[in-house]
């Protein structure tokens, strides 16, 4: 007997006639564990789109950098070979230069300030710049304020950080700032970091508490200093290849799901900030809680002249002025 193959159009018609709906599975990637802040935000997003589209869309999650480093994943989303990435802005400036401004050290006063800026007109404007580069920002999620860890000594002030070889993100704004602290910045994709710390290729690294916790850096780093030297925003980015196929109603579902994901991810950052430091102490880390922030701010002042030239003093001031 001859087998009859159905064309996709015939298949869709068959689904429609039978009342069974076609299902699209979207691949979402991020750097840390499914239980981490990125995992909590991504899971919320996935649950919401599945509910909101009555199961027509669902996700397959790829935590723990299973789809590569953040830079690779952003590129894949831009190309349409990956559907979604929940990523820090660290490598995003390499695709959308205007975004680099939000990675300036000591730009944001605290979480309230940072979230207000990212959710307000400045953040919306940056999302538009991303769209022009083939990246649909569904929401500003969050990585958190970054703190330093190392295997050599306690960092109480900027001069203590001087001479330490530290892994940084592939982000020139960070690197220029950290050089003013005397740090020797060593850019490296995150998936290589644990081994580099374990083998002593670098002395330290800097990341928010949720990353330090979920990546178990307490196993390979003795000292943690709550430097909070830079806020690390994150974005939930969808490929235009998917976005352009969505109906207007589904676009709304995705945007609402993005908002809920951002809220859940930020709440997890809050919870980890509140409870994670005690956990890291229990795990054996020595924590400096009262860091001399002024010594870091003073040190970074010359880099601000460079930032003003690159981004415009008025743009930096506009972010600082948000209340």
Least Å distance, CB 180 to ligand PAF, is: 20
Does position 149 bind ligand PAF by CB under 6 A? Answer: no
Q: Nearest distance from residue 89's CB to ligand PAF, in Å? A: 9
Q: Using the rule CB under 6 A, which residue among 77, 211, 213, 277 binds ligand PAF?
A: 211
Residue 194 phi/psi, 5-degree rounding, is -55, -45
Interface with ligand PAF (CB under 6 A), residue from 44, 207, 221, 265:
207
- Residue 191's nearest CA partner among 1, 63, 288, 38 is 63
Whole-number minimum distance, CB 235 to ligand PAF, in Å? 10
Closest separation between CB of residue 118 and ligand PAF, Å?
15
Q: Is 95 in the site for ligand PAF (CB under 6 A)?
A: no
Determine which residue in the list 190, 296, 304, 311 makes contact with ligand PAF, applying CB under 6 A. Answer: 190
Which segments of 169-216 does DSSP mark as H helices, in order?
172-179, 193-199, 209-214
Q: Count other Cβ atoms within 10 Å, centred on residue 11.
A: 12
Closer residue to ligand PAF, CB minimum distance, 98 or 170: 170
Nearer of residues 189 and 240 to ligand PAF, judged by Cβ? 189
Q: Binding string, 58-87, against ligand PAF, x = CB under 6 A? A: ------------x-----------------
CB 253 within 8 A of CB 53: yes
Start-to-end CA span in the chain (Å): 74
The β-bridge partners of 26 are 59
Q: Please give the residue whose beta carbon sits closest to ligand PAF in the complex.
A: 88
Is there binding between residue 232 and ligand PAF (CB under 6 A)?
Answer: yes
Nearer to ligand PAF, 127 or 168 (CB): 168
Tokens of 150: 């190392």
As a whole number of angstroms, the distance between CA 26 and CA 172 comes to 32
Kindly determine how many residues on this chain lie close enough to bind ligand PAF according to the rule CB under 6 A.
Answer: 10
24-to-102, 246, 253 alpha-carbon distances in Å: 34, 11, 15
Q: Does 141 bind ligand PAF (CB under 6 A)?
A: no
Helix 293-311 to helix 313-321 angle, to the nearest 10 degrees? 130
Residue 233 · residue 142 · CB < 8 Å = yes
**Binding-site ranges for ligand PAF (CB under 6 A):** 31, 70, 88, 90, 143, 169, 190, 207, 211, 232
């Amino acid at each position: 007997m001859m087998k009859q193959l159905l064309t996709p159009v015939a298949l869709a018609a068959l689904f429609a006639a039978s009342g069974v709906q076609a299902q699209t599975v979207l691949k979402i990637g991020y750097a840390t564990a499914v239980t981490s802040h990125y995992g909590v935000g991504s899971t919320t997003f996935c649950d919401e789109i599945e509910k909101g589209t009555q199961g027509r869309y669902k996700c397959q999650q790829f935590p723990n950098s299973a789809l590569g480093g953040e830079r690779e994943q952003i590129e894949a989303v831009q190309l349409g070979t990956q559907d979604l990435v929940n990523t820090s802005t660290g490598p995003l400036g390499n695709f959308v230069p205007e975004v680099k401004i939000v990675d300036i050290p000591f730009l944001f006063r605290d979480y309230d300030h940072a979230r207000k800026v990212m959710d307000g007109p400045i953040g919306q404007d940056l999302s538009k710049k991303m769209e022009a580069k083939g990246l649909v920002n569904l929401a500003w999620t969050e990585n958190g304020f970054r703190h330093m860890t190392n295997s050599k000594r306690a960092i109480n002030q900027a001069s203590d950080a001087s001479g330490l070889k530290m892994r940084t993100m592939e982000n020139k704004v960070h690197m220029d700032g950290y050089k003013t602290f005397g740090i020797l910045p060593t850019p490296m994709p995150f998936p290589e970091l644990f081994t580099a710390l374990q083998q002593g290729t670098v002395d330290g690294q800097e990341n928010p508490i949720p990353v330090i916790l979920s990546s178990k850096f307490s196993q390979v780093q003795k000292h943690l200093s709550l430097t909070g030297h830079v806020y690390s925003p994150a974005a939930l980015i969808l490929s235009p290849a998917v976005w352009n196929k969505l109906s207007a109603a589904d676009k709304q579902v995705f945007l609402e799901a993005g908002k809920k994901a951002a809220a859940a991810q930020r709440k997890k950052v809050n919870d980890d900030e509140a409870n994670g430091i005690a956990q890291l102490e229990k795990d054996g880390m020595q924590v400096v809680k009262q860091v001399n922030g002024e010594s870091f701010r003073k040190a970074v002042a010359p880099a601000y002249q460079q930032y003003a030239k690159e981004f415009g003093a008025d743009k930096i001031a506009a972010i600082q002025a948000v209340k």
